[in-house]
A and B are shown apart, each in its own frame.
Chain A
Amino acid sequence: MYDGAKIITGLAVFGAMVTLPAWYGWAGGSHGDAPELAPPAHGEHCVESVEFMRSSHMQLLNQWRDQAIRRGSRSYRSSSGETYKISLTGTCLDCHQAKAEFCDRCHNYMGVQPTCWNCHVEPTGVKP
């Protein structure tokens, strides 16, 4: 191989540059500027545990959607035995009032674009 040392050095530098963001995050122990969500002002706890909601709120919302529309049953019994009304704007956003603060910040950070709000209406301006 001609100029083997140069090529290998070049490749190593290129590899290091490309993976730099991953190394940077790993070394710094941070996930960049991940949003920190403040708990809502009122309401003691969410329908399920914080860990569960963080990882699986989308599955829960899909389950709520199917249960309310397809099966016509509009109440949810949580794992702690409490009963909640199935309603995105009525139950979820009753506590998490600001969609921009609560939903959008994480979704923007993760680069996901859920279509919930194409139809569902944010209660801002209608409810105090």
Chain B
Amino acid sequence: MNKSRRDFLKKAGMTLLGASGARFVILGIADAEHLPDSGGSGVRRRWAIAIDTEKCASQGDCTACIDACNAEHNIPRIDNPEEEIKWIWKERAKAVFPHQLGNDSPRTLRDREIPVLCNHCENPPCVRVCPTQATWKRDDGIVMMDQHRCIGCRYCIVGCPYGARSFNFRDPRRAIDKLRSDYPTRTRGVVEKCTLCAERLAIGAQPACVEACEATCGAMVFGDLANPDSAIGRLVRTTLTMRRKPELGTEPKVHYKL
């Protein structure tokens, strides 16, 4: 044990370098094994919905989109507003756009009932707060929900500025009118929301709400915003559309034409 200070410092330095290198290798492996966030397809898409509220309001009390969604996703019908589950529903325009519409705005506009749903934000706050990554943003922009991972902490409900998420306070199965087997229900104690019909997009179909709307008045347009030649790309680029609470910087992908 006859080491000079010089030797000791050399070896200590080498050890430190080696350790930091190993750390990068370990982190790299951990990262590779991490669940990927891709949406599957190779093309980078940005799915979005545009809603013409005037056309929608012209249909009166039409609930085609809501009914289609409820049937498609085994959504329970719970009338108690504290426990209800909703993926898409109608809200007064004044409540949807509280900063844009005031008491002096046209009454027809203020009182218009317009469909609202998860905005599939570019910067989703719900994803930032989810402690288990049960909710995450796919490469194609869909803010997806993995019910297998949800622990029901409800941080995402607090995080969402649009109230687009619902919590299952009780077993939802008993409140489902017509149970369909090709889509799972949820269980008590998990959060759920619109997934932009990821399972339908996977087979090349449109979201259920948009399909149902097309059969009535066609107020909803669905498509790929990343493609400027798509119907929605042209619509959003040529008409003035609004998004909810833009001041929050969440960059919603549901556009409204008032």
Interface residues, chain A, with chain B CB atoms under 8 Å away: 65-66, 69-74, 87, 89-90, 115, 118-124, 126-127
Which B36-51 residues sit within 8 Å CB-CB of chain A?
A: 36-41
Please classify how large the interface on chain B is, using the bins under 10, 10 to 19, 20 to 34, 35 or more. 20 to 34
In the complex, residue of chain A having the shortest beta-carbon distance to the beta carbon of B39: A72
A73 close to B147 (CB less than 8 A): no
Query: With A71-B40, A119-B187 in contact, do A65 and B181 touch (Cβ < 8 Å)?
Result: no
Write out the residue numbers on chain A whose beta carbons fall within 8 Å of the beta carbon of B182: 87, 89-90, 123
**Count: A-B pairs, CB below 8 Å:** 52
A52 CA to B35 CA, complexed, in Å: 25
Q: Mark B114-153, 1 if CB is under 8 A from A, else 0.
A: 0000000000000000000000001010001011100000
Task: Please indicate the chain B residues that have their CB under 8 angstroms from the CB of A120 in the complex.
Answer: 184
In the complex where A119-B186, A122-B181 touch, is A69 in contact with B146 (Cβ < 8 A)? Answer: yes
A121 interface neighbour in B38, B146, B185, Cβ under 8 Å: B185
> Is B179 close to A, CB under 8 A?
yes
* Cα of A89 to Cα of B181 in the assembled complex, Å: 7
**A/B interface sample: 16 pairs, CB < 8 A:** A65-B148, A66-B35, A69-B144, A69-B146, A70-B35, A70-B36, A70-B146, A71-B35, A72-B38, A89-B181, A89-B182, A119-B147, A119-B186, A120-B184, A121-B184, A123-B182
Residue of A nearest to B140 (CB): A72
Given the contacts A121-B74, A121-B184, A73 and B179 also touching, CB distance less than 8 Å: no
Asked whether, in the complex, the Cβ of B38 is within 8 Å of the Cβ of A127, the reply is no
Chain B nearest CB, measured from A73 CB (Å): 5
With A72-B39, A119-B186, A121-B183 already in contact, 8 other A-B pairs whose C-beta atoms are closer than 8 Å: A69-B148, A71-B35, A71-B40, A72-B41, A72-B140, A74-B40, A74-B202, A89-B184
- B40 and A127 within 8 A (CB): no
